[in-house]
Amino acid sequence: MKHENKVAIVTGAAQGIGKACAERLFADGAIVVLSDINQEQAEAAAMDLDPSGKRAVAIRCDVGIRTEIKKLVEDVVARFGRLDIMVNNAGITCTTPAIDLTEEELDRVLNVNLKGCYFGTQEAARVMIGQRQGGSIVNMSSAQAELVIPDRVPYGISKAAINQITRIFAIALARQNVRVNAVGPGTILTPLSLGMNKNEAAYRRVLSRTPMGRVGRADEVSGIVSFLASDDASYVTGQTVYADGGRAYLNYTVPVDDELPELKL
């Protein structure tokens, strides 16, 4: 298995894409630390992976607080002796129009998405550069790093910045055997996006801007994360891989079938 005996942290791992990343890394042989602000949900996800608690554990962390990120990394290294993979996935959003966005809303999203990713990368890198085997960091970007949704202002700002964080650290760490990459999902089926089952118009809008004609699956993101974290990607750094069904390069809308694809996890 390509991650056998490697130690990985996944933030925001209690559900959705983060949980899928933890599941894939675990399946590929890693010891996985599922970190989330929701401790109970993270523990349940870890228990589902490994009831013995030897290869999957949950540690609570609010990535919007720098000291908690530092403690998370320190606790993992103290417990397992190393850190090979860091997946900075935790993120939040808000839906306030640009003209009405408050400072508090901006700060809340940037603290989690932007600062959480920056300091997660920084703390992981500090450990990895001291290891002979180095390490790999994968940041969760978004199609919205390149595209605009006017009522997702701080989210788009944070994801665009994550791409630059990824490039900066990739170059800074290139000679120290630490690779840094990102994945940019489009619309992915998660418990949150299931809300489109009750809003056909919103679902049709999503499909109209997705050339492949469907939303993505969380495992279609986690597979890329596992690849980027693996030795198969040993010469890849500073890249953002978009898993968006072709959305980023669409300059028009595409037809939507009368019968919509079923949304089901």
| Residues known to be catalytic | 155
The backbone torsions φ and ψ at residue 60, rounded to the nearest 5 degrees and listed phi first, read -70, 140
Q: Are 92 and 154 in contact (CB under 8 A)?
A: no
